[in-house]
Amino acid sequence: MKAWWSLVGIRIRRAATADVAEIREVAQRTWAFAYQELIPADVQTSLVSRWYSDDARERRMERGILLVAESAPGQAIVGFINTFRNPGRPGEVALAAIYVLPDHEGHGIGTALLCRALAGMPDALRVVAQVEKGNTVGLNFYRARGFDPVREMDDEVADGIVLRTVEVVRSLPRA
């Protein structure tokens, strides 16, 4: 059970262009922790620099919602979330990334980011995400927040590195 004050001071806001380096740093540090058994360190570094390049960040901000959580207003970024509407699938939102720094895990920041991102898409009917099978914390998070696993697939993240990925879905009942 989380204490209600664990989120006091945390501010969630839309990402700005100037945040790109800090977002990349959060991704790098979180990957190093979450994927230490799954993805070799050098592959992590090259994937993070590609996926969190300036161009990729532009696309994330233009095509979807990119929110960051600050430890206090104007202070360091400790987590972020990125969602998109899935083209060709009306009502479906893809949760492309959600990361919270390891030393801030378990305080409700991931849940707060998810709630804020979904609040910005009031017509969404379901959210779809993918999580690596060995990522226990990630799978716990999705289960605890109402997502159900629907299928598994292989995902070749780099040459010769194939991860087993679980697709999880959560319906969003609307009044």
Ligand X SMILES: CC(C)(COP(=O)(O)OP(=O)(O)OC[C@H]1O[C@@H](n2cnc3c(N)ncnc32)[C@H](O)[C@@H]1OP(=O)(O)O)[C@@H](O)C(=O)NCCC(=O)NCCS
Residue 105 makes CB contacts below 8 A (sequence gap 6+) with 137
Contact between 60 and 82 (Cβ < 8 Å): yes
Candidates 110, 159, 151; CA nearest to 131 is 151
Q: Which of 27, 47, 82, 110 binds ligand X (CB under 6 A)?
A: 110
Q: Is 64 in the site for ligand X (CB under 6 A)?
A: no
- Please enumerate in sequence order all residues whose Cβ is within 8 A of that of 52, keeping only pairs 6 or more positions apart, or say none: 20, 23, 24, 27
Nearest distance, CB of residue 67 and ligand X, angstroms: 12
Is there binding between residue 60 and ligand X (CB under 6 A)? no
- The 8-class DSSP code of residue 72 comes to S
Region of 39-47, 83-91, 105-113, 157-165 interacting with ligand X (CB under 6 A): 105-113
Q: Check binding of 83 to ligand X (CB under 6 A).
A: no
Asked if 100 touches ligand X (CB under 6 A), the answer is: yes
Judged by CB, which is closer to ligand X: 19, or 123? 19
Four-CA torsion 171, 91, 117, 57, nearest 10 degrees: 130
Q: In what order do the strands lie in the sheet with 126-132?
A: 11-14, 64-70, 77-85, 92-100, 126-132, 161-171, 148-158
- Kindly state the smallest distance separating residue 163's Cβ from ligand X, in Å: 11
* Footprint (CB under 6 A) of ligand X, residues 140-159: 140-141, 144
Select 13 or 123, whichever has its Cβ closest to ligand X.
Answer: 13
Q: Is 165 in the site for ligand X (CB under 6 A)?
A: no
Residues at the site binding ligand X, with contacts judged by CB under 6 A: 2, 30, 34, 98-100, 105-111, 131, 135, 137-138, 140-141, 144
